[in-house]
Structure 1
Amino acid sequence: MRVSNFNFRKVMLLIVDAVIISICGVISNFILQVLNFQTGFRSIVETPYVVVSILINVIICIFCLFICGAYNKAWRYFNAKDYLSCLIGMVAGVALSALVLSLRYNSFNYVLPYTLISGGLSVVGVVLFRLIFKRAFIKINDAGAIDVGERTLIVGAGNAGKIILEDIFNAKQDSNNPSKSIFPVGFVDDDRLKQDNVISSVRVLGQTTDIPDICEKENISLIIFAIPSCEEEERKRILDICSKTKCKIKIIPYISKLLFDENEDGTRLLNQVKDIRIEDLLGRPPITFDKSSIKTLVEGKVCMITGGGGSIGSELVRQIAQYNPKRIVIVDIYENNAYDIQQELRLEYGDKVNLDTIIASVRDYDKMEQIFAQERPDLVWHAAAHKHVPLMETVPCEAIKNNIFGTYNVARLAQKYGVKRFVMISTDKAVNPTNVMGATKRCCEMIIQYMSQNTTGTDFVTTRFGNVLGSNGSVIPIFRRQIENGKPITVTHPDIIRYFMTIPEAVSLVLQAASMAKGGEIFVLDMGEPVKITTLAENLCRMYGKIPYKDVEIKFTGLRPGEKLFEELLMDEEGLKQTDNEKIFIGNQIHIDKDKLLHSLDELKECASENDDDEALKLLAEIVPTFNHQTNK
């Protein structure tokens, strides 16, 4: 149907050209008669001769236009290059017509006046018609189309792009399909051989570098990235270009993540198109992990996750559930989060996953002992912690109680009840900490190393990583809320940078570390190049189709208490060595003075119980010598 429609439009354009050339011939004859030329040519402009001249002119000009490709382009896609091809075709046609007519009437002098007038008018008429038609009729037609569909640019004119286009056209036949509202305007592709090609009436308009200009010129509102096999760096480059437009951006998953339906003729890609995520712009390939080793670790085991309702803890629960554990025990103080992940797993797995959800605080040693005695976990992932840097600056004793002594409680109970492996979730802020949260997590790392050096039955390990995209309290959810509520985006400093990873990557690291652990290690992840927070905010604005600093204000508020401008490079920690996974490194164990640490912890606990913030900070700095507290006040 689409091919026949396109051929019909070509035939209609050809007929219009023939009419224009014919009318120009009649007008030329009229002009010559009015001017009353006193030449032998007058006999030629009589009606019989004019009809023959017009017929020859039409046939030859149409032929030349066809040879020049004037009918290979849909009208809406005509540009300067195409108008030039029409001009060349018409000039060549007029010249050949003049030659044929001069031979027919044995004198070029007889033909010259008629050729100059009719040829000139025909050239202007044919080219001008295309220009007017595109700017008037096509624009009006498209204006109507906007009401029923978003003007869409497809990035990639390969197989995926063609399938997407096919799905769009098929969707238009289904009134119940929401995809019928997509109106494909054109493709872009970096393959030079595909330039100007027309695929099912939709033209390749240019290369990826032309995306901003094309989007502005063609009034594009939606971009679909349709290159599932694209390498990560190239993907980031193209998405960076797309993010500079005002368009919404949707993306086809990596080819390894595409779902193929063997029961259908072909693959429905349109249903798998998703909104672009900010992690698509990080410019780092997704971290890969050895799932078989994780399965060996988890399968048939009782797995406890403290803080199991949080962003990291809940993803731990999701991924652990995939490996057929004997039982999953979720421990969290916040009942809403714990309930959400409980319901999610029940909806996903039904009775296939044995799940216990317990509301409790890791600060309550007696309650936690009751849980350990009842559940008898084989593996523990300790994700419960206060993590919000500015808030912990205002209540350091609460951070100490929850982070340090919550960890100490759970670690001691893990040893007491014979847990096979204990994994503590740490942060890059524990490296040379400048804030209370980072210092408490560094103290937790020291506790875990102390436990490792003074136990034989449990493997105690730490995993350390940077900022997690989309986690509770991270910048992305905050930026999204600010944009959606029409508020300015607040960034603390124009030059602040951070390392980022996705929640699934962070959790995969935690699981991989647990499978590799022998006890005492601090696992750190090579997270690639750091990301400038200002750039992150600008890209997020563009993903919403808004212009940074124009549609959305970006305000710089100054560094918050305890906040670093540049996080420490994880790879700078002394003694790191590589593992079998090239992205995971292990920090050498640091000897912990048992008596000194335990004495300091007793003093710190007593001080924190009395809520003496100043004294507690002094004691924390003694335990963590690298703690350089910066209030940024």
Structure 2
Amino acid sequence: MSVNGIHWSRDKVLFALADIVMVALAWGIAFWLRFNFELPAEYRTMALDTMPWAVGCMVVGLAVARVQRQAWRYVGLADLRQLAWGVLLGVLATVACVMVLRYPGFARSVFPIFGLLVLAMLAGARATWRSIAEQRHARGGAGGQSSLIIAGTLEEADQALRTLKGSQAWQVVGIVSPRDQDVSQSLQNVSVLGTINQLGDIAEAHGVHSVLLASVPGSALRREVLLRWSGSQLNLLTMPTADHWLNSPATDLRQVDLEDLLGRTPVALDAGDLAEWLSGQTVMITGAGGSIGSELCRQVARFGVSRLVCVDVSEAAIYTLEQELRIAHPEMLGNYYTANVREHERMLAIAQKHHPVVIFHAAAYKHVPLMEESNEVEALRTNVLGTLNVARVAGECGAQRFVLVSTDKAVNPTSIMGASKRLAERVVQAMADRYPITEYVAVRFGNVLGSSGSVVPLFTSQIARGGPVTVTHPDIVRYFMTIPEAAQLVVQAGRLGQSGQIYVLDMGEPVKIVELARLLIRLSGRTETEVPIVFTGLRPGEKLFEEWLANDETTSATDHPQLRVVHQTAVVLSFNELERLHAWVEELGPAPAPNVLRSGLHGYVQEYRVRGA
């Protein structure tokens, strides 16, 4: 039965009747307490005469506060505040009603006693019912529950305990905290057994093999536990992400992985706004078969594009992508091209056939040492001329937006790859002036965990062979993000961006590469004794640390909390300079002298620090 939008089940009716009975009892007890347990006959009659009015007024107050919607089994602090508000309204209504009835000699002190009794009885009933339900639930699942220790501060552990409450899979036996003062305290009837340093001994003493890291991703505590206990007998777990909740219960804990080393919270998308922007549109992505490009395709497909035009020079990569997307998004029209971004006419023909609204340009050479020696001219032809071609095509076919995937290595570059990407940024900014109908933006981000050519696949293969794991320098650090984060950032910046702007992500704290190597070794179940780490020295064009802003750049906030827009003082290239740039790269020939190429590149990218200069 439904009344006023509320479904009145049998249990809900019984709970409502219980509330009414308790309110009536509270009214009688209030008189009894007021007269010190010796209620005169005339006041006994007065209590009985006014009881229907008091109960009715209290029911109205509770109804106005929507207390009847509460589920007793899951009552919490917010529900108790709602209950207190309803009781206050009920008491005020009762006062008004009794005053109107004009009972002579009515003891007004009955009213506050009545309110306190109603609040105590109704709250107590709900708390008792929840406690009974939880104990019954715990007994039902006790046979299959696994013991768990929570690692984190009291605030973090409190949130984890709330999430795990009622779980049939996990039984929390204790908490370990980074703070000494928390030891011996209790939280939701769970004791703080010791500090993080004692985690191993505490787990062994209680026969526990699973530890839940309650701290936020990238926190110092989480990184300490990961680096110290990965590869041990302890099973390190973390709470699922918001995306994971969509497909499984919140109590379905997941294994920790490399993403938990990130020194910041994961990127959050404005999914509704992006779906509104991309739904039903035609989108073109270059470099679609690569790590970032293929993830861009997945993310864009999620938002309901009508047609996705995928371009990559690799036949194998574009074939694999086609097979995946046809299965995952059978309703989406897909066009898959093997084409080279260096060929302007080919790119223009593809764009004019489909008229994309948005073009994401991810095609690029990105391997620093490989582009630094023997392949310098290839970096310029693909990263610079390829960008020039696709950006020009975006303007020629009337695309609304063009988004360049750039890199932090473009900032104060010391490598050919970094300088070529900085020049690509300048090309995009110049195109913004040339084709005002199209919005041109660029997005910089750091190293991508697990992408092809990154350190993670390299370290993994070295560990599989038994080592050694090669790290160039003990102090080298990098900013990292996941492949989905990188793609999401590009899409979000494409939506927010204004023409000619460059965007950067708040990347949090950098990660030491040697820490990453140690974690991978431990996650593989081995030790550094079994798989040693060897330092080989910095490679050509490699920096100890990456920068996010050049010396003449500043940033300001955007509507997205993790995206910032870069402000520059550099002069935008003119169209004539773009023509000269194109001619210069073509004139370099198939095997230019390295010093000639580097000198010419420095002329276009003044901040490029030429090796050996």
TM-score, length-scaled by structure 2: 0.67
One-letter amino acid matched to 1:499 = Y
Alpha-carbon displacement from aligned partner over 1:384-403 (angstroms, at most 9, x marks no partner): 00000000012101111111
**Can you list the C-alpha shifts for 1:536-578, whole angstroms capped at 9, x where unaligned?**
2222223333333x23211000001110112124386523222
User: Post-superposition shift, 1:364?
Assistant: 2.0
Which of 546, 557, 570 in structure 2 is aligned with 1:578?
A: 557
- Counterpart amino acid of residue 370 in structure 1: A
1:375 paired to 2:362? no
* Structure 2 residues without counterparts, runs of 5 or longer: 1-143, 152-156
Q: CA deviation at 1:353?
A: 1.6
* Residue 210 (structure 1) aligned to one of 198, 205, 218: 198
**Cα gap change, 1:626/1:571 in structure 2, threshold over 3 Å: closer, same or farther?**
closer
Which stretch has the larger CA shift, 188-197 or 351-360? Answer: 188-197
Structure 2 contact 239–250 (Cα < 8 Å) conserved:
no
SS of match in other structure, 2:600: helix
Is the 8 Å Cα contact of residues 526 and 570 (structure 1) preserved in structure 2? no
CA distance in 1, matches of 2:457, 2:602: 32
- Please give the alpha-carbon distance, in whole angstroms, between the structure 1 residues aligned to 2:195 and 2:533: 31
Q: Deviations over 1:222-266 (max 9, x none)?
A: 534264xx44466x514522431224644243464454899xxxx
Of 488, 494, 509, which aligns to 1:529? 509
Q: Per the alignment, do residues 626 and 352 of structure 1 end up closer, same or farther by CA in structure 2, a change over 3 Å counting?
A: same
1:613 Cα deviation (Å)? Answer: 4.0
Distance 1:233 1:535, change over 3 A: closer
- 1:496 maps to 476
Match of 1:342 in 2: 322
Q: How high is the sequence identity, in percent, across the aligned residues?
A: 39
Shift of 1:520: 0.3
CA distance in 2, matches of 1:517, 1:197: 47
- What is the Cα deviation at residue 292 of structure 1? 2.7
3-state SS, counterpart of residue 280 of structure 2: coil
Whole-Å separation in 1 of the counterparts to 2:532 and 2:205: 26
Is 1:392 the counterpart of 2:371? The answer is yes
How much has 1:512 moved relative to structure 2? 1.3
Counterpart-to-counterpart distance in 1, 2:246 and 2:327: 24
Residue 460 of structure 1 aligns to a residue whose secondary structure is strand
Q: Cα distance 1:238–1:577, how it changes in 2: closer, same or farther (>3 A)?
A: closer
* 1:519–1:551 distance in 2 versus 1, CA, 3 Å: same
Match of 1:605 among 582, 586, 593: 586
Contact 2:318–2:336, Cα closer than 8 Å, also in 1: yes
Instruction: State the SS of the aligned residue for 1:576.
Output: strand
Give the drift of 1:486: 1.4
Conservation of the 8 A alpha-carbon contact between 1:293 and 1:512: no
C-alpha RMSD of the superposition: 3.2
Query: Which residue of structure 2 aligns with residue 97 of structure 1?
Result: none
> What is the distance in 1 between the residues matched to 2:234 and 2:364?
37
**Higher mean C-alpha deviation, range 372-381 or range 243-252:** 243-252
Alignment of 1:546-625 (within 5 A): 546-548=526-528, 550-570=529-549, 574-588=553-567, 590-594=570-574, 595-609=576-590, 611-625=592-606
Amino acid at match of 1:244: R
Q: Mean Cα displacement is larger for which, 598-607 or 460-469? A: 598-607
> SS in structure 1 opposite 2:404?
strand
Give the aligned partner of residue 366 of structure 1: 345
Residues 416 and 429 of structure 1, relative CA distance in 2, 3 Å threshold = same
Please list, as runs of the form range in 1=range in 2, the aligned pairs for 1:262-273 lying within 5 A after superposition.
Answer: 269=251, 272-273=252-253
Alignment-derived partner of residue 210 in structure 2: 223
TM-score of the two chains, using structure 1 as the length reference? 0.65
In the TM superposition, residue 472 of structure 1 has moved relative to its aligned partner by 1.2
Change (3 A) 1:523 1:213: same
User: Contact (CA 8 Å) 1:247, 1:542: kept in 2 or not?
Assistant: no
Q: Which amino acid aligns with 1:629?
A: V
d(CA) in 1 for partners of 2:319, 2:443: 26
Query: How far 1:218 sits from its partner (Å)?
Result: 7.6
Residues 543 and 495 (structure 1), Cα distance of their counterparts in 2 relative to 1, 3 Å cut: same
Contact 1:562 1:631 in 2 (8 A): no
Report if the CA contact (8 A) 2:398-2:437 is conserved: yes
Q: Cα gap change, 1:615/1:242 in structure 2, threshold over 3 Å: closer, same or farther?
A: closer
Q: Residue type of the partner of 2:257?
A: R
Distance 2:188 2:281 in 1: 58
2:255 is aligned with 1:253: no
Once residues 436 and 255 of structure 1 are traced to their aligned partners in structure 2, the CA distance between those partners, rounded to angstroms, is: 38
Larger radius of gyration: 1
> How many Å apart are 1:358 and its aligned residue?
1.1
* Inter-partner Cα distance in structure 1 for 2:245 and 2:507: 29
Q: Distance in 1 between matches of 2:244 and 2:186?
A: 27
- Structure 2 residue 399 is matched with structure 1 residue 413: no
Equivalent pair of 1:430/1:439 in contact (CA under 8 Å): yes
Secondary structure, in 3 states, of the residue corresponding to 1:519?
coil
Question: CA offset at residue 276 of structure 1?
Answer: 1.5
Q: Distance in 1 between matches of 2:247 and 2:518?
A: 38
Distance 2:366 2:282 in 1: 27
Asked if the contact 1:195–1:206 (Cα under 8 Å) also holds between the matched residues in 2, the reply is no
Q: What CA distance in whole angstroms lies between the structure 1 residues aligned with 2:515 and 2:272?
A: 37
2:402–2:439 Cα contact (<8 Å) kept = yes
Mapped contact 2:466–2:530 kept (Cα < 8 A): no
| Residue-by-residue CA offset, 1:315-339 (whole Å, 9 max, x unaligned) | 1111111111121111011122222
SS of 1:522's partner is: strand
